[in-house]
Structure 1
Amino acid sequence: MSQSSLDDEELFGEAAEEMRADVEEHLAAAREQLPTADGIWDVDSENTLGVLNALRSAFDVEGAEEHLRDAKKAFVVGERADAFEDAESLEADIEAVENVLGDVETAREEVGELAATIPELRGALEDAHAASDDDSAAGDDADDEDEA
C-alpha cells in the first residue's frame, strides 16, 4: 500500500470520527434545548390563560429543531460516505429526538388552539350567565306583580 493511500485512509478515519462527534454534539444540544419535564409540569399563573401561555412558551423548541437538523445533515453525509461503523445507533438516536420534538410540537399546537378558545368560551359563558340572571330578575318582577 502506498503512503498516499495510507494517508487517505487515516484522513478518512479522522473525518468519520469528526462527523460522528458532530452528529452526537448536535443531538446533545438538541436534547438540551428540549423543555424540561418540570418546566412543562410546574407552571405559575393566576388564571387558565396564563397557564396555557406559559405552557406554550415552554414548548418552544426552535433551537432543538435547528440542532436536530444539523445532526441529520452530518449523519446523511457520513452515512452516504459509509463513514459510520454503527450508523444504526446514530439513526436511532436521531429518531428518538425527532419523536420527542414531534410530540412537543403537537402539544404546542394543541395548547395554542386551547389558548385561543378559552377567551371566547369565557365570554360566551359570561353572556350565558348574564342572560340567566336577567331571566331570573324578570321572573322575580313578574312574581311581585302577581302578588300585588
Structure 2
Amino acid sequence: MSQSTFDDDELFDEATSEMREEVEEALETARAELPEPDAVWEVEADNTLGVLNALKGALDVGDAGDHLREAKKQFVLGQRADAFEDADDLEDDIGELEALFGDIETAHGEASDLAATVPGLKSTLEDAHGDEEEA
C-alpha cells in the first residue's frame, strides 16, 4: 500500500466527513420519527378522557429521542475534536430539535396530568350534583 493511503490529514478529513454524515442522518431519522401534526390535531374520541389519551399517544416521540441523543453525541465528539470546519448548521438543527422535544414533553405531561385529573373531577361533580338533587 502506498503511504498516501495512511496520511493522517486525509484520514482525519475522511473521519470528520463521516462523522458529519452520521450527525445529519441521526437528525433526519429523529425528525422522521416525530409525531405527525395531524395526529396531534385531529382526534376521534367519545369523550374528553378519550381525547386526552389520544393526545398523549400522539405526543409519544418513540425512538426519536434516541436518535437525537446519538446526533448530539457525535456532534459533541466532533466539536471537541475540532473536527468540523463549519458546524453552526448542525448546532442550530440540534438546538431546534431539542426545543421541539421539550415542547412535546411538556405537552405530553400536561395531557397526562389532565387525563389523570378529569375522571376524579367528573366523579366529584356527579357527587355535588347528586347532593343538590337530594336537598
Amino acid at match of 2:56: R
Unaligned runs of 5+ in 1: 136-148
Count residues in correspondence: 133
- Show structure 1 runs of 4+ deviating over 6 A: none
| Separation (CA, whole Å) in 2 of partners of 1:28 and 1:5 | 32
State percent identity of aligned pairs: 56
Question: Residue in 2 aligned with 1:85?
Answer: 85
Structure 1 position 62, deviation (Å): 3.4
Structure 1 position 5, deviation (Å): 9.2
Question: Residue in 2 aligned with 1:8?
Answer: 8
In the TM superposition, what whole-angstrom CA distance separates every residue of 1:93-137 from its partner, at most 9, and x where no partner exists? 0000000000000000000000000000000111111111111xx
Amino acid at match of 2:11: L
| Separation (CA, whole Å) in 1 of partners of 2:45 and 2:23 | 38
| Separation (CA, whole Å) in 2 of partners of 1:79 and 1:87 | 8
Residue 62 of structure 1: SS of its match in structure 2? coil
1:66 paired with 2:70, answer no
| Separation (CA, whole Å) in 2 of partners of 1:66 and 1:14 | 25
Match runs of 1:110-125 below 5 Å: 110-125=110-125
Larger Rg over CA atoms: 1
Question: Residue in 2 aligned with 1:17?
Answer: 17
